[in-house]
Amino acid sequence: MSNEKLPSRAENYSEWYNQVIQRAELADYAPVRGCMVVRPYGWSLWENIQQALDSRFKATGHVNAAFPLFIPMSFLEKEKEHVEGFSPELAVVTIGGGEKLEEPLVVRPTSETIIGYMYSKWIKSYRDLPLLINQWGNVVRWEMRTRLFLRTLEFYWQEGHTAHATAKEAEEETLRMLDIYTRFAVEDAAVPVIPGRKSNSEKFAGAVHSYSIEAMMGDTKALQAGTSHLLGQNFAKAFNIQYLDMNNELQYCWTTSWGVSTRFIGAIIMTHGDDQGLILPPRLAPIQVVIVPIYKNDEERARVMPVVDKIRAALGSIRVKVDDRSELTPGFKFNDWEMRGVPLRLEIGPKDVEKGSVMAARRDVPGREGKSFLPQENIASSVGALLDTIQSSLYEKARAFRDSHITDVTNYEALTTAVQDGWAHAWWCGSADCENRVKEETKATTRCIPMQQPGGTGKCAVCGRDANEKVYFARAY
Amino acid sequence: MSNEKLPSRAENYSEWYNQVIQRAELADYAPVRGCMVVRPYGWSLWENIQQALDSRFKATGHVNAAFPLFIPMSFLEKEKEHVEGFSPELAVVTIGGGEKLEEPLVVRPTSETIIGYMYSKWIKSYRDLPLLINQWGNVVRWEMRTRLFLRTLEFYWQEGHTAHATAKEAEEETLRMLDIYTRFAVEDAAVPVIPGRKSNSEKFAGAVHSYSIEAMMGDTKALQAGTSHLLGQNFAKAFNIQYLDMNNELQYCWTTSWGVSTRFIGAIIMTHGDDQGLILPPRLAPIQVVIVPIYKNDEERARVMPVVDKIRAALGSIRVKVDDRSELTPGFKFNDWEMRGVPLRLEIGPKDVEKGSVMAARRDVPGREGKSFLPQENIASSVGALLDTIQSSLYEKARAFRDSHITDVTNYEALTTAVQDGWAHAWWCGSADCENRVKEETKATTRCIPMQQPGGTGKCAVCGRDANEKVYFARAY
């Protein structure tokens, strides 16, 4: 299956994306419109993402819990902006156990409301704060135009929900999680991202401020890859989340929420993939190394396989797959594992057995340049070093691509040109009018007001008025 | 909270159970009837259960994936027994994105149908078999009488779904998973279980045979703690799961499914708990050791805390919590951690600092008998050994309790007496009439026909006819 030719990215980026996912067996379409099945290879990638994020959450004092799938419709209505934002996207259960329900139940699109309700029961005193809970689960948003991983009716994610005694602590938490997402993207996924604040028109329904990490895909469009929301006292007041402070006075909590979803898999595919298929960052790849034994006959096979087994054993904790399918040619296998994005391939044939070496082929560097012979001795350390090199090369390559597609612009014409094939970095006056004009005329939106600002002031690239901050404009997924 | 007196088990077992869960902060009631919130301490226990099972699944060649939450109503109708069994328990989504849906969507009560549909797409040849996929997720069954963990509208579980080329392989898989569940229960949870086959009236809707592991709770009622179903070709025919065999002929697959859920947490609570609260088996306990520093003043505290830190560090990979809350007395802390079932408590006071020892108190052995002094030297190995002792003692204690409440019976009167406060082990002719009579007159049902049979034949304890197999009758959760 995976040996048929893939459409090139230049030819049809969207079709390339869909076919990579299906041929690499990451996911498949479900029989219900807009839903996906995450296949074992895709789920294994997600498990590695989960582990990478979860260990960062736990290291910063967060714990996991599970809140219900079903939320009473009346809960959503308690926070005005929240219900306005989410009500067009809801799946609603109206029948349970054969009977019509008195109050319809919403299948959670996000859990601020039901968690807010529970927090109001659990939090009594300042001693119960901060409350730092995360949940791994599924949510449903009734999207009209869906794409595997990027936008599906049901998706998988983590949603952190925290409550704090002061505004300052809540803001620190919001930014701490933005930083954790940035580090995860850069260090684990080799995806360069720009952390920043969303504009008012792009923020989460019910938030005071939303922050995001924004990544550039291979077609130069932006993808919001994680968000962290400062909710102020909006949900605390809607759900009566109060605590007794040290002076025994009742105060409202300050809350935050933050999430990364299976959408991130889409970011990995479109950041690193090439015309041969997927390229996975070694730290997250389900299979880090594939070993393909090379032999022409049973006699050669008998000499090669013991060395294959020895090398596999020597690689220890590195995630290795030996492709010993006898009915397929090595060439077919090479293409197959390239499509699946395995970072490193080791070939072991009769000559390697003689010479005490193995042939290593990097997925990220095609052709002869990516090939080298490694001595069988100390194979774990040389393969480990090569995986580290691949990890950092992937990051550098993606960063160089991104940076070469970001244009600093100072006027509207330059802005509209820049967003045709990249991002525009521009002073912005902060008005929704300017955002709307750009959106209507170019389809580009403000992605984020980056944390890293040049300082000083400038003129808005759209209207020419005074501006205090720079922003990224880009077409986005 | 957790220092208030718990009702004793003898007084009110059901109330004891509910209060243990809430005071130990394992779970709480959600605002939607019959739903629960699994709190961080409970979820951490579930994560340890997941890890223990998942590693056993992966070691036997299974992989994880994720299938959709929503199933078209028509899918359930394809397998006659299946839809009959599940349709009274369904939650149904009828509205999506503000519009009435053309075909209502069922929130999965279990995933045989949607997975069967996907398998029919994926499986083409004998080379694709066996297909061994597991899913961790949530399911919904609209139960009328709910209990935290034991029976909730939404619950968390794993469901394995496998497809095989032959009936023999499917049966081997079914029994392999029953064995994995048995080992998990015995080795990780210290819960003695009896593996066996369910009677026809107790089997899964759509199965050829269902197998289960049955555990005895502290009130002598039985709890089905895991199930493994041989589905024959029922779902393969309903969903057209076919493969080309080696002779290029089209054949139907043979499938299985198997699951363990958050119900197992109920089994742990009711197998090991005592009148002081929860007792957790060390291998699954979120906190294996709690250290309580003992001091009367700042001077003592300054001497004690460095030793506490040293011991904590020395315990390495053992899951340790130091309870350094300054506003609470040691006595309060002891009760608190006893309620939460932490297997081992270490007390460190000024005298221990002097003597180079720590006081260890076993949760499973109350009073002086469970206390011993351990030298601070080599603390990790002595604590590790003590945790192993606790693990095996819990198992032995539960097994002795169970065995002393199982009666071998040969006539109906003895049977009805036995099931008042225990299980009856009896010859059974296999007829539903006899099952029904026992159920109506005593509320006891057949729990399982154990894999371990005495051999030979006997007379049915209910009707006196010839019987080939022995069965367990018991009242059950």
Is a pLDDT exceeding 60 seen at residue B141? Answer: yes
- In chain A, pLDDT over 90 holds for what percent of residues? 97
The yes-or-no verdict on residue B117 having pLDDT over 60 is: yes
Q: Give the pLDDT band of residue A82 (cuts 50, 70, 90).
A: confident
Average pLDDT over residues B439-464: 97
Name the minimum distance, in Å, from the CA of B63 to any CA of chain A.
Answer: 6
Please give, one letter per residue, the 3-state secondary structure of A333-349. Answer: HHHHHHHCCCCEEEEEC
Residues of A in contact with B44 (CB under 8 A): 63-64
Contacts of B28 in chain A (CB under 8 A): 118, 121-122
Q: Do A72 and B137 touch (CB under 8 A)?
A: no
- Indicate if the alpha-carbon torsion angle B204, B209, B214, B219 is positive or negative: positive
Q: How confident is the model at residue A80 (pLDDT cuts 50, 70, 90)?
A: confident
Give how far Cα B423 sits from Cα of B10, B21, B447, Å: 18, 26, 9
Average pLDDT value over all residues in chain B: 97
Q: What is the mean pLDDT of residues B110-116?
A: 97
Mean pLDDT of all residues in B427-439? 97
Q: What per-residue confidence (pLDDT) applies to B2?
A: 52
- B-chain CB neighbours of A88 within 8 Å are 97-98
Residue A79 has pLDDT above 90, yes or no: no
Q: Do B91 and A87 touch (CB under 8 A)?
A: no
Question: Could you tell me the CATH superfamily of domain B289-387?
Answer: Anticodon-binding domain (3.40.50.800)
Q: Which of A63, A70, A138 is closest, CB to CB, to B35?
A: A70
3-class DSSP assignment, residue B217: coil
DSSP string for residues in B56-95: HHHHTT-EE-B--SEEEHHHHTTSHHHHHHHGGG-EEEEE
Here the tokens at position A437 are 């004009």
Superfamily of domain covering B13-272: Bira Bifunctional Protein; Domain 2 (3.30.930.10)
Second CATH level (architecture) for the domain A406-474: 2-Layer Sandwich (3.30)
pLDDT at B1 over 60: no
- The amino acid at B1: M
Confidence tier at A3 by pLDDT (50, 70, 90) = low
Whole-model pTM above 0.90? yes
Model confidence at B3, pLDDT cuts 50, 70, 90, reads: low
Do the Cβ atoms of B31 and A75 come within 8 Å?
A: yes
- pLDDT digits 0-9 by tens, A162-187: 999 999 999 999 999 999 999 999 99
Helices (H), A99-233: 112-122, 167-183
> Residue B473 to residues B211, B220, B440, B445, B462: CA-CA distances in angstroms?
15, 12, 13, 5, 11
pLDDT tens, A353-387?
999 999 999 999 999 999 999 999 999 999 999 99
Q: Where are the domains of chain B?
A: 13-272, 289-387, 406-474
Cβ-contact B182, B213 below 8 angstroms = yes
Assembly ipTM: 0.96
Token pair in block for residue B412: 């109906």
Read off the pLDDT of each residue in B44-71 and give the average, rounded to a whole number: 98
Q: Which residues of A touch B65 (CB under 8 A)?
A: 37-40, 42-43
- Give me the pLDDT at residue B336, please: 96
Asked if residue A450 lies in contact with residue A195, where contact means CB atoms within 8 angstroms, the answer is yes
Distance CA A264, CA A223 (A): 9
- pLDDT tops 90 at residue A122: yes
Residues of B in contact with A58 (CB under 8 A): none
C-beta atoms of B65 and A43 within 8 A:
yes
Considering only residues A81 and A176, tell me which one the structure prediction assigns the higher pLDDT.
A176
With an 8 Å Cβ cutoff, are A93 and B107 in contact?
yes
- Do A394 and A364 form a contact (C-beta atoms < 8 A)? yes
The span from the CA of A408 to the CA of A472, in Å, is: 9
Q: Is B105 helix (H, G, I), strand (E, B) or coil?
A: strand
Give the pLDDT of residue B4: 73
Strand B458-459 and strand B371-375: the pairing is unpaired
Count contacts between A and B (CB, < 8 Å). 165
* CA B91 – CA B75 distance, rounded (Å): 15
With H, G, I as helix, E, B as strand and everything else as coil, classify residue A70.
strand
Fold of A289-386: Rossmann fold (3.40.50)
Question: How does pLDDT run across B267-301, given as a tens digit for each residue?
Answer: 999 999 999 999 999 999 999 999 999 999 999 99
Taking 80 as the threshold, does the pLDDT of residue A1 lie above it? no
Closest CA to A264 of A196, A306, A324, A217: A217
Mean pLDDT of the region B462-477: 98
